[in-house]
Every structure is written in C-alpha cells, then in structure tokens.
Amino acid sequence: MPDAAPAVRRQRRGLRWLLAVACLLFATVASAAPRIGVATMQPGEIFWERFGHNAIVVVDEETGAATSYNFGFFDPGEPDFVSRFVRGDMRYRLVALPLEQDLAYYRDTGRGVTMQWLALPADEARELAAALAENARPENAQYRYDYFLDNCSTRVRDALDRALGGALRRQTEGRSQGSTFRSEAVRLASPAPWMALGFDFGLGPAADVPQPLWAESFVPMRLATALREARDRQGQPVVVDEQALLPHRLGPEPDDAPRQWPLWALWGAAIGTALAFAGARRPRLVASLALPFWTLCGVLGALMLFLWFGTEHRFAWANHNLWLASPLAWALLPGGWRIARGRAAGRVFHVLLGTVAVLALLGMFAHWLPVLPQRNAHWIALLVPIHAGIWTALRRR
C-alpha cells in the first residue's frame, strides 16, 4: 500500500504558503491608508464667496479616486430658507463628490485652489476617512451654520483636530495676532464697500473680542496658514507637501486696513459745521437734507433692534451704534417736513431733536466704558458732529 505521508506533507506546505500569501495580502490592504489633503479656495466675487472656502480631500491609494468632502452646500430652494436666513437659523450640509467635479466650479470662476497634503498616521487617516463618509450620509450631513463659530472652515478644522488628537487646537488656542471677527469680516468684504460697511456698522461688541488663531480659522486662508505651521504629536510638520491646483485669476485676498477715525472725524466735523452755519439762513435746506438722514438712521436702528431681539445673529446683539442711529429719528420726520415747507415744527419736534442729539452724544461716552467695548470710534467721529450740526441749525426754527 503506497505511503500517504509525503502527499499529506505537500498539502500542509501548500496550505502554509497560501496562508502566508493571504496574510501578506491582508497586511498590504490594511496598510494602504488613504491620502488626506486640504483644498483651500481663494475668495470669489459673489458676496457669499468673499470669505473663501475649503474642503477635505480623501484619495483612495488603491483606486486613485479623490473624494472632496465639502461642508459648504446649502439649498436656497428650501421652503423656509429665507426665513431661516433672516432669523440666523441656517442649515448647511456636508456633500461628498469627486474632486474634479468640485474643482470645476472654481476653474470656471477663476478662483485659485491650493492643496496641502497631510502626514497623518495610517490609522488616523483611515479613521478620518471613515468619519467623513459617515458624516456625509444624508441623515447625518446637515448642520446648523454659524458665520464665525460653525461654518464650512471650522468643520474642516475640527475634523482635522480630532484626527491629530487635539494637537492643532493646543498649538493655536493660546496664540493671537489681535484680529477680531469684525476685522476679518470687514477685511474680506472690502472689495464690496457696501458689504464691508454693513458688517462694520451691523456687528455688535461680541465681534470685537480678540480671537486666538484657533478661532481665526473660520477663514479658510487662516486655517491653511495654521496647518502650515502645525506639528503632529511627534513634533513633525503636519503638511508635507503643498501644490497649486488652479491659478487665481481674480483680485488678491484683501489686506487688513484699520479704520482711520481722524479722517472720519474730519468729514463729520466738516458736514456738521456746514449744516450748523446753513441753519441761520437756509433752515429749509437743512431740513430737506436732514429728512433722508433721519430716515436712514431710523431704518438702521430698527434693523439693529430686530437683529438683537428677533434673531439668533448673536454677534449683532447690543450694538452700540444704536446710540447713533435710533429709530426715534423717524419721529422727527413730520416736524422736519414742516420746516422744509416753511412752517413751524412745534414744541414736540424740538424736544425730540434734542433727545436724538443727546443719544448720539451718549454713544460717545458709552464707547469709553469698559463694559462690552465696541470698536466704533470712526462711526462716532462721523455721526455725532452731524447730529450736533442739525440740532444747532434747527433748534430755534
């Protein structure tokens, strides 16, 4: 009877080889961690594009497929979109799409895009990719948007910080270059002057707190700078390579330009003095000029009160510019109209006129108080002399 031992040994050797090959293949698959990058898009020309944008890119090393995880999608066609926008209760969502599809829009609009490739350990890279894929599921994708505290860039920042074990926050939380939410908003909106003035006048004292580099990362370009300087838990640079994906064909990112309040004071003094002197001979002209000014003050004051008491736009609450632009100015319109027509305004008008001027003056004193300080010295320098000039011109007419 033939000996079966050699055949059995050959089968065992074959099984061992198969097992070794399987283990090798499993180790190869397990070590093929995705490549992680951060794409930073430069500011555009539409008002919601002024702050720039970013996304986390995950590249499957086996297939080469690059997926862009973009936290900046919203649907203006939703039935309650406008009302939510007004109330400060906006809903954004995370969308996963092919990188080339995401880049197509920026290529068409001339917005530059740079990519920062990150040196994440294999386990952290896989965990980040899995967390993003789970977050992008329709039932998990939506989040409540906040301009400064929870936007498309802070979502990218927070996801990377979790992957780095909190290293990004530790390195940026304790450092500041003195910028505020107001200064960043006004800086980035400056190519559209009316938008910049709206941010500057409409934001309250909460927007003037100096922010650490961590909070500055609500601006995508600031986050790119923070990543460029960051180190991982082993002290190695987080960014290992940086490349330009698309050229920027629009204007450069604006620089910070602090408001020169002496120039505003010069304009305010010139206008206020001219109004005061004109009141002696041309009170009807002064009243005609004051009517649109009071109308604008009333509109701005009513809007600031609505933002404070009727919305969740927390950075517009308790705005000190209410001293300068009060809805009480609307009560001056009937008397001002009578003066413009050459008639007496009445006693009530003069009381209200003095009240509006005194409120503006109180705004100057409120600026010096240490309680909830607000950087609105330039608005005070412009508007207090105008209120004083109108009061001087019309108080006896």
Q: Is residue 204 within 8 Å of 78, Cβ to Cβ?
A: no
Q: Could you say which of 3.40.50, 3.90.1720, 3.40.225, 2.60.40 is the CATH number of the domain covering 33-176+212-246?
A: 3.90.1720
| pLDDT of residue 367 exceeding 80 | yes
pLDDT of residue 5: 55
Segment 290-294 mean pLDDT: 98
User: Nearest-CA neighbor of 153 among 197, 194, 184?
Assistant: 184
pLDDT of residue 18: 46
Percent of the chain with pLDDT over 70: 92
pLDDT of residue 315: 96
- Would you say how long the chain is, in residues? 397
pLDDT of residue 16: 55
pLDDT in tens, 35-54: 999 999 999 998 889 999 99
Q: Give 165's pLDDT tier (boundaries 50, 70, 90).
A: very high
Where are the chain's structural domains? 1-31, 33-176+212-246, 261-394
pLDDT in tens, 114-152: 999 999 999 999 999 999 999 999 999 999 999 999 999
User: Nearest-CA neighbor of 383 among 295, 305, 323?
Assistant: 323
Segment 193-203 mean pLDDT: 95
Q: Is residue 383 within 8 Å of 272, Cβ to Cβ?
A: no
Does residue 118 sit in helix, strand or coil?
A: strand
pLDDT in tens, 86-110: 999 999 999 999 999 999 999 999 9
pLDDT of residue 240: 95
| pLDDT of residue 3 exceeding 70 | no
User: Nearest-CA neighbor of 144 among 129, 155, 159?
Assistant: 155
Number of helices (H), then strands (E), belonging to the chain: the values are 15, 7
pLDDT of residue 28: 41
| Residue 375 CA, distance from chain mean position | 18
More confident residue, 9 or 359: 359
Does residue 61 sit in helix, strand or coil?
A: coil
